[in-house]
Amino acid sequence: MLEPDQNVAMQEATMGNTNARRDVQLERFARALASAITEKEVRMLIKEEANRQFDGDYDILFRKLKDEQTGNGKVLNVLARHLSALEKSPSFANPENELNSLSADVPLLNIAVPIHMDKWDAAQYTPLVAVVPSNFDEKTTERVKAFDQHGKVTWLSVKAMPDMPVIVVGLNERVVYEDGTFAMKDYLVDDNMVHYVMPDELVLEPGDGGGGGGGGSTGTSSSWTCRIDGKTDYLTGMWFKDISEYEAWILGKPEVVLKIKNPYNQGEIGHHRYKEERSKFDNTWFNTNSYLYPWDINMVSDAVGYLWYEDDGGFEIEIEQTINYKVFGIGQSTKVKYKLKNDDDIIGLTTIGLSHCPSTGYYTLGGGSMEFRFKLKSI
């Protein structure tokens, strides 16, 4: 019988072999796609389907696309023809079977146009086709492989976003596949997708803590950043020094999550998701003006915990945060737990106190290129 450590090692080896095999399949698929999009109708179809944003991003599931018709037949048949021409091997006789097997083995196989969709003249321009490897990590991966119509490789920087559209082959991050069924991740269908906003007369103007550009307010402490017992807190602004530190351009729109915990009973009093174009808060302030929660020191205490992260999925894990707070004037300290996924990118944990007013006018997490700022207002 294998010992536990041996079991883990075997599982990791099996996963590594599976990922290596899948990477080869996806590269072959990307090369075929790069060749197929020399056909104008294929490019036009990809742009049309990506623009539907069925999952909120410019994504297309291959399972859906493969049966779509072009002037030269179904997408599956067009790809098979180009795949066969690229392989040029007598033993490679059934490209349609290979593509159908790939679709079955990798149900979340995704084709995306994550950047510059508005710039893409699909009638004229043939983009490179990049592929996301199984070991991709924003923090460690520096470049990704992309193919042109001839199969020539170009290496694209993960940090420096290209000036022109790129088609990307990878796995869909926003859809789950279980027991033969596709479903949107919960944040795409639950109430968290809609952010309650401040009344029109209370929406902040640029420079008033919610909008504006550059580095945000630099004034001294002011009442609008303080919590007020009995009032409601709103998130009024978000800013990233470099959003690609948390969601690379090749993965499309970021899915930024804020979870808020009450240390008094360890309950979750806020769970909010922000799914915006990356340009909206990449080195600029995005005016969110979204409802968070009402303050009541007898129910919430005088401090709450914030966890910010970018959703990437994986299996469930827990992290802890220690919060110092007071209830009825008595000092307490407790640990709260947050659930997230192992591939999620943690932006930061912080405690928001009832009376804390940052002199900058905003709260800061991280540093350097990973710096993130946000603004709050009690109304």
Could you tell me if 347 and 359 are in contact, meaning their C-beta atoms sit under 8 angstroms apart?
A: no
Q: What is the mean pLDDT of each run of 10 residues along the chain (379 residues)?
A: 44 58 93 97 97 93 94 94 80 80 94 95 97 90 96 94 96 87 70 40 36 32 58 93 94 94 90 90 91 86 94 90 88 93 93 87 93 93
Could you tell me if 203 and 195 are in contact, meaning their C-beta atoms sit under 8 angstroms apart?
A: no
**Whether residue 155 is found in the same domain as residue 238:** no
> For residue 346, how many other CB atoms are within 10 A of its CB?
15
**Whether residue 118 is found in the same domain as residue 222:** no
Strands of the sheet containing 128-131, edge to edge, are 59-61, 109-112, 166-171, 128-131, 143-147, 153-157
**Whether residue 223 is found in the same domain as residue 323:** yes
- Spatial distance between the Cα atoms of 278 and 258, rounded to a whole number of angstroms: 17
**Whether residue 109 is found in the same domain as residue 221:** no
**Count of structural domains, the chain:** 2
The predicted pLDDT at position 330 comes to: 85
Radius of gyration of the chain (CA): 24
**Whether residue 237 is found in the same domain as residue 88:** no
**Whether residue 207 is found in the same domain as residue 291:** yes
Which residue reads 């004034």 in tokens?
Answer: 219
- Spatial distance between the Cα atoms of 298 and 69, rounded to a whole number of angstroms: 62
The predicted pLDDT at position 314 comes to: 81
DSSP string covering 56-84, please?
SSSEEEHHHHTT-EETTEEHHHHHHHHHH
- Per 3-state DSSP, the chain is made up of helix, strand and coil in percentages (nearest 5) of 25, 30, 40
**Whether residue 249 is found in the same domain as residue 345:** yes
The predicted pLDDT at position 369 comes to: 93
Cα pseudo-dihedral 221, 224, 229, 230, rounded to 10: 180
In 83-215 the beta strands, taken as DSSP E runs, fall at: 109-112, 128-131, 143-147, 153-157, 166-171, 175-178, 181-184
Residue numbers of the domain that contains 364: 190-378
SS3 251: helix
pTM, to two decimals:
0.79
The predicted pLDDT at position 139 comes to: 83
**Whether residue 199 is found in the same domain as residue 98:** no
**Whether residue 103 is found in the same domain as residue 227:** no
- Spatial distance between the Cα atoms of 378 and 337, rounded to a whole number of angstroms: 25
Q: Which of 208, 6, 1, 250 is nearest to 111 (CA)?
A: 250
Question: CB within 8 A of 305, min separation 6: which ones?
Answer: 260, 261, 263, 321, 323, 336, 349, 350, 351, 352
**Whether residue 140 is found in the same domain as residue 38:** yes
- Spatial distance between the Cα atoms of 122 and 301, rounded to a whole number of angstroms: 56
The predicted pLDDT at position 57 comes to: 93
The predicted pLDDT at position 378 comes to: 86
